[in-house]
Amino acid sequence: MKYPAIQNYINGKLVNASTSKTLEVISPVDGNLLSTVPMSSSKDLDDAVKAAKAAFPVWSKMPIKERVQVFFRYKYLLEKNLKELSELCSEENGKTYGESVAEIEKCIELTEFATSLPQLVTGEVLEVSRGVECRTEHVPLGVVASIVPFNFPSMVPNWTIPNAIALGNCMIIKPSEKVPLSCGRLAELLKEAGLPDGVFNIVHGDSEIVEAICDHHHIEAVSFVGSTKVAKIVYQRATHNYKRCLALGGAKNHLMVLPDAKADMTAQNVAASMSGCAGQRCMAASAMVGVGDVDHIIDKICDEARKIVPGKNLGAVINKDSQTRIERYITEAEQQGAKILVDGRNAKVDGKEKGTYVGPTVIDYVTPDMAVAKEEIFGPVISIMRTDTVDEALAIENASPYGNAASVFTQNGGLARYIIDRASAGMIGVNVGVPVPREPFSFGGWNESKFGVGDITGKSSIEFWTKLKKSTTKWNPEAGVNWMS
Ligand code: NAD
């Protein structure tokens, strides 16, 4: 085992969980055992909540300009440790080193945004009647929780950590049991940056801890990122217990490719979007709708896909189950009459025989009723459907229950605007394969890709992590009294 057994992080200290149950943490790169992760109990969560609750009065009363100083230092520490954090991310998640570097750079950008919060959370003040002032302030909620998935071991935690904590909350995070190591390293950096003990805590575990978070009386808000199936469970359970909840779910993102699109640029973007992070991105292109004759572009997409080689510029998928599931989707589509133009099944990487790899896969002549057209595959696979008109392409996109992202590839501005207006997704790209809005713009999908109000990052996160206090004041007796004051 490469790393020591993982422990919970409560009140600034590593502590053993109250149970002896653990899971193995296996590297998808080569199948090696990295560590073990404890499956904590609700007692461990309770300890973490107590620590967070105790830290809250001092942390929340600190002026925000002081709180963000921690994040200026944290940003510097992320930069300083970029290489080591990236290596750890690749090791536990399987993505390529370059993709991990991009992930840590995104953490730096997210932290940079948090350091700008003092400029954004200024309240409002107005003399609403003669001598009477109304004023609003953003007040932190208290103890909050963040539940995160496996596909971005550092970035998704950093969607919530800097903003929620800089805004004055104390946090408990539940990392994915598949990639629990990176979060532990983030805790060390936060401590080194000067974050007081108890403000940030980690409780490892599985669904039992997630359910305990949703039920805990002293947790005020729950942020969740993961599959739609679990997002629904968490959203229902947390809101049933009167908590604020924002639950981001899975995706099936459509790219609409028009015949006038720049062929090389489109092919490179489509191939990169479907295969980046081995297709394990909620923003990955998973379905393409070719409108009219786009054969020349599909040929180039296949050429690009063939340049993507597992173990070189394509990372591993998270585990054997995932590999089997993705390959099953491809085989089923083939049996149903789709044509596999580039086949990523049975991928092997020399010297890493126990690694879990799927090569880039391009499937053509998919019909909208096939599972590969409708379901989230979460692997480096693109399913191509064909239509005669833009409206037919939009009808396919609109029929998806998801709504994270959609993109259009064209040189026609009017048609691009037509599609932006009609696509049923929260994030739209024009000639962009992965239309992630960068800070300060907020990230969030629609439909079954997100439950709750607002978005998770950017300015929108201020509303989620704070509540508004409205005060009405009058100091001069001569202002008198009327029915409004
Ligand atoms: P997942 O839903 O299986 O797990 C997410 C978290 O929920 C983990 O911490 C896990 O321990 C916990 N969990 C799992 N099953 C549970 C259950 N039955 N009850 C309670 N908790 C449970 O997701 P994953 O496989 O880790 O991540 C991949 C998914 O996340 C994909 O669907 C992807 O699209 C989605 N995702 C979405 C976004 C977004 O912004 N919308 C971002 C990243 C990932």
Segment 258-269, tens digit of pLDDT: 999 999 999 999
How far apart are alpha carbons 153 and 149 in whole angstroms? 7
Are 232 and 210 within 8 A, CB to CB? Answer: no
Could you count the other beta carbons within 10 Å of the beta carbon of residue 139? 14
- Give the CA count within 13 Å in the CB-facing half-sphere of 118: 11
pLDDT at 189: 98
**Is 0.75 surpassed by the pTM of this model?**
yes
Pocket of ligand 1 (CB under 6 A): 147-151, 156, 174, 176-177, 206-207, 210, 225-227, 230, 233, 248-251, 282, 376, 378, 404, 445, 449
- Give the CA count within 13 Å in the CB-facing half-sphere of 264: 0
The verdict on whether omega for the bond into residue 196 sits within 30 degrees of 0, i.e. cis, is: no
pLDDT at 246: 98
The continuous run of DSSP H or E covering 115 comes out as helix 97-115
pLDDT at 258: 98
Could you identify the atom of ligand 1 that is nearest to the CA of residue 226? 30
- Is 245 among the catalytic positions? no
Q: At what angle do helices 97-115 and 155-166 cross, to 10 degrees?
A: 10
Could you identify the atom of ligand 1 that is nearest to the CA of residue 174? 9
Q: Could you give the 3-state DSSP secondary structure of residue 45?
A: helix
Could you identify the atom of ligand 1 that is nearest to the CA of residue 444? 40
pLDDT at 406: 98
In order of their start, the domains of the chain are: 8-250+445-470 (3.40.605.10), 253-430 (3.40.309.10)
Over residues 171-190, the pLDDT tens digits come to: 999 999 999 999 999 999 99
Determine which residue's CA is closest to atom 40 belonging to ligand 1: 248
Determine which residue's CA is closest to atom 35 belonging to ligand 1: 226
Over residues 365-423, the pLDDT tens digits come to: 999 999 999 999 999 999 999 999 999 999 999 999 999 999 999 999 999 999 999 99
pLDDT at 212: 98
Residue tagged active-site, from 107, 134, 282, 302: 282
How far apart are alpha carbons 12 and 98 in whole angstroms? 31
**Low-confidence residues in the chain, pLDDT < 70:** 483-485
Could you identify the atom of ligand 1 that is nearest to the CA of residue 248? 41
**Cα dist. 148→28, 170, 182, 265, 304 in Å?**
19, 17, 12, 33, 32
Task: Provide long-range contacts, Cβ within 8 A and 24+ apart, for 228-235.
Answer: 228/376, 228/401, 228/402, 228/448, 228/449, 231/448, 231/450, 231/451, 232/448, 232/451, 234/147, 234/210, 235/451, 235/452
pLDDT at 130: 86
Are 158 and 186 within 8 A, CB to CB? Answer: yes
365: left (phi over 0), alpha (psi -120 to 50) or beta: left
Supply the Cα-derived Rg of the chain in whole angstroms.
24
Q: Compute, in angstroms, the gap from residue 308 CA to the centroid of ligand 1.
A: 27
Determine which residue's CA is closest to atom 30 belonging to ligand 1: 226
pLDDT at 186: 98
Burial 171-194 (b: 16+ CB within 10 A, else e): bbbbbbbbbbbbbbbbbebbbebe
Q: Compute, in angstroms, the gap from residue 425 CA to the centroid of ligand 1.
A: 20
pLDDT at 293: 97
Q: Compute, in angstroms, the gap from residue 234 CA to the centroid of ligand 1.
A: 10
Q: Compute, in angstroms, the gap from residue 176 CA to the centroid of ligand 1.
A: 8
Q: Compute, in angstroms, the gap from residue 332 CA to the centroid of ligand 1.
A: 25
pLDDT at 483: 66
> What residues are paired with 285 via a beta bridge?
253
The continuous run of DSSP H or E covering 83 comes out as helix 82-93
pLDDT at 485: 59
